[in-house]
């Protein structure tokens, strides 16, 4: 049996753990630069606030309604996610971390019923982290997703749904009322096509023939159809596969005009991407840089450019990669534009043990450089991202992402650890 554990309104719930006064109040969390709403409490949803709504258009009204808004605190969310996943690993040796707030577990038959195990998971996560979760249990990953959805929509079930414990009639009623567009693996475009062909619910989809589904919508939807019928097509993936590309990009908190400030941003993004590269013990054989203005301001002069270059030798060295990125930037930068975003992508990734040597390439001692990068990684992990880096990344970084409503980093900074007064 498969269990899908999903933290309810994850970003909002993380904020509430450390500010209990927010319980029962409408709360939203905003995207980069406080742009759009990316997480909502149940109370905010009840007010009609939509996911992805621009905050600037709702700010005045939301304040009148008593809505509390927070900037994204990614360091806090990542730390809380790691804690949840470590707890869930205690319940099963087979675990697939699907996203920052979702995890599949393989449950083995035992003395307790699967529903009891689910309630134990929910209770433990709540007690140890303060985060509320829902648990969906079913024979396949697709049905576990569906069961998790039912657990959320039916509060009287206590946040746990074991699909196999529903009667045949109850299952049929659920499938008849479950819109096909809400099924995991079926996107908006496919569901629109299905609607034109009279397929509106899961029951409608299951009434079709397998080969017909394959011919009309492809093998992926056919597998979804099979899993909805209770036959496993997708096994748990215990270890996440190494990334084939690593992208780091951000919109700026304010427009950038100078090449030097663009260089600071690009250097910062290279450092973050290189750290991720070393974490999976890989090297990059090519690197690309892109810069662009704000396309949502068509009255302003527009410019965007993207260039990829191969590296003479695959590398994960922050200094080497930064030099290559700044070389690209110098060739694509054009003065007179208000740049709104930049990004760096590392491509052609391969194992660090498979680097092709070059007899004629003169470079710094690779062992010393590896030690330098490892030391930088350790310092940044212990004292916080950006504690040490290349000089070209700058110090003030006035272009950094806007976070006007960010909360303290309660679990990742020593000077912001919560204080309890007894």
pLDDT in tens, 10-46: 999 999 999 999 999 999 999 988 999 999 999 999 9
> Which pLDDT does position 145 carry in this prediction?
96
For 114, 152, 164, 165, the CA distances from 171, given in Å and listed in that order, are 17, 16, 9, 9
Task: Tell me the β-bridge partners of 308.
Answer: 288
Greatest Cα pair distance, the chain, in angstroms, is 74
Q: How far apart are CA 399 and CA 261, in angstroms?
A: 7
> Which pLDDT does position 382 carry in this prediction?
84
Q: Which of 23, 73, 57 is CA-nearest to residue 43?
A: 23
Domains annotated for the chain, with CATH where assigned, are 2-134 (3.40.1170.60), 167-229 (1.10.150.20), 246-393 (3.30.1490.100)
Q: Return left, alpha or beta for 184; rule: phi > 0 is left, psi -120 to 50 is alpha, else beta.
A: beta
Q: How far apart are CA 255 and CA 399, in angstroms?
A: 7
Q: Return left, alpha or beta for 230; rule: phi > 0 is left, psi -120 to 50 is alpha, else beta.
A: left
Per residue in 286-341, pLDDT (tens digit) is: 999 999 999 989 999 999 999 999 998 899 999 999 999 999 999 999 999 999 99
Q: Which of 336, 331, 352 is CA-nearest to residue 266?
A: 331
What single DSSP character describes residue 208?
A: S
SS3 content of the chain, % helix, strand, coil (to 5): 45, 20, 35
How far is C-alpha 202 from the chain's CA centre?
27
Flag residues of the chain having pLDDT under 70.
Answer: 111, 238-240, 357-365
Q: pTM (2 decimals)?
A: 0.82
- Helices 318-332 and 259-279, axial angle in degrees (round to 10): 140
> Which pLDDT does position 156 carry in this prediction?
93
User: Which residues have CB under 8 Å from 371's CB, separation 6+?
Assistant: none
């Amino acid at each position: 049996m498969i269990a899908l554990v999903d933290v309810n309104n994850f970003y909002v719930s993380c904020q509430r753990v450390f500010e209990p006064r927010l319980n029962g109040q409408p709360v939203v969390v905003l995207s980069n630069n406080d742009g759009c709403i990316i997480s909502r409490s149940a109370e905010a949803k009840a007010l009609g606030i939509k996911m992805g709504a621009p905050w600037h258009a709702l700010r005045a009204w939301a304040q009148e309604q008593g809505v509390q808004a927070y900037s994204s605190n990614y360091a806090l969310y990542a730390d809380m996610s790691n804690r949840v996943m470590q707890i869930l690993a205690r319940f099963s040796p087979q675990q697939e971390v699907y996203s920052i707030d979702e995890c599949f577990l393989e449950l083995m038959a035992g003395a307790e019923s699967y529903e009891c195990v689910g309630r134990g998971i929910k209770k433990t996560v709540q007690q140890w982290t303060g985060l509320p979760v829902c648990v969906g249990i079913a024979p396949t990953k697709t049905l576990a997703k569906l069961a998790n959805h039912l657990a959320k929509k039916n509060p009287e079930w206590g946040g746990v749904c074991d699909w196999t414990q529903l009667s045949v009639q109850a299952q049929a009623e659920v499938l008849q009322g479950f819109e096909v567009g809400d099924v995991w693996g079926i996107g908006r475009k496919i569901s629109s096509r299905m609607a034109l062909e009279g397929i509106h619910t899961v029951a409608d989809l299951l009434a079709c023939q397998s080969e017909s589904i394959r011919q009309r919508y492809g093998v992926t939807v056919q597998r979804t159809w099979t899993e909805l019928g209770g036959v496993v097509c997708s096994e748990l993936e215990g270890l996440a596969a190494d990334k084939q590309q690593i992208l780091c990009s951000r919109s700026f908190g304010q427009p950038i005009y100078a090449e030097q400030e663009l260089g600071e941003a690009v250097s910062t993004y290279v450092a973050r991407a290189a750290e991720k590269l070393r974490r999976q013990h890989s090297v990059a054989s090519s690197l690309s840089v892109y810069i662009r203005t704000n396309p949502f301001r068509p009255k302003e002069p527009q410019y965007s450019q993207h260039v990829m270059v191969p590296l003479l030798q695959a590398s994960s060295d922050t200094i080497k990669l930064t030099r290559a990125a700044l070389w690209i930037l110098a060739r694509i930068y054009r003065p007179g534009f208000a740049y709104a975003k930049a990004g760096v992508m590392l491509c052609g990734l391969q194992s660090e043990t498979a680097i092709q040597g070059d007899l004629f390439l003169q470079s710094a001692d690779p062992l010393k450089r590896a030690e330098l990068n490892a030391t930088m990684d350790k310092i940044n992990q212990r004292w916080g991202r950006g504690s040490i880096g290349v000089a070209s990344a700058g110090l003030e970084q006035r272009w950094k992402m806007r976070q006007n409503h960010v909360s303290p980093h309660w679990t990742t900074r020593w000077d912001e650890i919560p204080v309890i007064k007894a």
